[in-house]
Amino acid sequence: MSHAWMPTSPCGPRCLTGGEPTVGAPRAALRLTGAVAVVLVCLLAVPVLPVIGRDRFARLVFRALLGAFGVRLSVTGGDALRAAQGRGALVATNHVSWLDIAAVNAVRPMRALAKRDIRAWPVLGRIVAAAGTVFVDRESLRSLPATMATLAETLREGAHVYACPEGTTWCGQGVGRFRPAMFQAALDGGVPVRPVALRFRMADGRETTAPAFIGEETILESVRRVARLRGLVLEVRVLDEIAPGRAADRRELAELTEAAINSALDRVVVVPAQRKRKVTRRTAQAA
């Protein structure tokens, strides 16, 4: 059952921009075929990942997946993310689309924190589980402490873990409140948080929400819409790390991360009124 603290987003079909350039039906079908081929290759490779090298293979797969959909990746600050070897970090991004995780892993392959439902997905569930994903049951608050303990241990062991603190997707025109629970794992693990800002644009520079996976639509509907876009650019901006000692508690750490990403995206912080002054002040200090 869902609960009052279940992450929700006000985004829906009305948030989708229109007028983006598109490709014809044959090319869109070819893109979908290419994406299916990438997924199948990935599935067949699961048993031999330890032999061929998980990180190198993952980077190639995610770049191939983006390429299959005609998505151009534009990365700023990627070297800082790739250079952090041998120590863990919680990599937190705003959450817009199913393309988000592909973009981050195309820069640097890493484990992820994902909702438990994904584990049951046909084909993809097995691939995600094989990648060392830490699963969270969003419908069970009782299981959250144990999941965060597992995440903290994973971070303490030196892993980079990708997570979406909003807990659900937004259209990209705004960023939702960052839930503080997962930031406790970063504090307990003694690792920094690495904010990463994601933005979708078309080749002509205008921002688009067409790749967003929002509202009541199915994943298949979103995939088809992305396959029809011509000239989609996914911008990945890797921001400065937030050291574990910089925040007094998980709530403050969540606010600092949220403010950093909003500042990078020039977004208005969508938070309850009692928190606006605190976040705005920190944003001004960071500037």
Query: CATH assignment of 16-286, given 3.40.1130, 3.30.450, 3.30.200, 3.40.50?
Result: 3.40.1130
Q: What's the CA gap between 56 and 49, in Å, rounded?
A: 10
Give just the sign of the alpha carbon dihedral 62, 124, 134, 234. Answer: positive
Strands (E) located in 53-186: 72-76, 89-93, 111-115, 134-136, 160-163
Nearest alpha carbon to residue 237 among 114, 105, 93: 93
Q: Given this model, what pLDDT does residue 138 score? A: 64
Q: What is the pTM of this model?
A: 0.85
Residue 88 and residue 244 in contact, taking contact as beta carbons nearer than 8 Å: no
Q: Where are the alpha helices (DSSP H) in 93-235?
A: 99-107, 124-130, 144-156, 181-189, 219-227
Give 285: exposed, middle or buried? Use CB within 10 Å, 0-12, 13-18, 19+.
exposed
Q: pLDDT tens digits for the chain (287 residues)?
A: 444 456 677 888 888 998 999 999 999 999 999 999 998 888 787 776 666 677 888 888 899 999 999 999 999 999 999 887 778 999 999 999 999 989 999 999 898 888 777 777 666 666 677 667 888 776 666 777 888 898 999 999 999 999 999 888 888 887 778 989 899 999 999 999 999 999 999 999 999 999 999 888 888 899 999 999 999 999 999 999 999 889 999 999 999 999 999 999 987 554 443 344 344 434 333 33
Single-letter amino acid, residue 178: F
Domain positions in the chain are 16-286
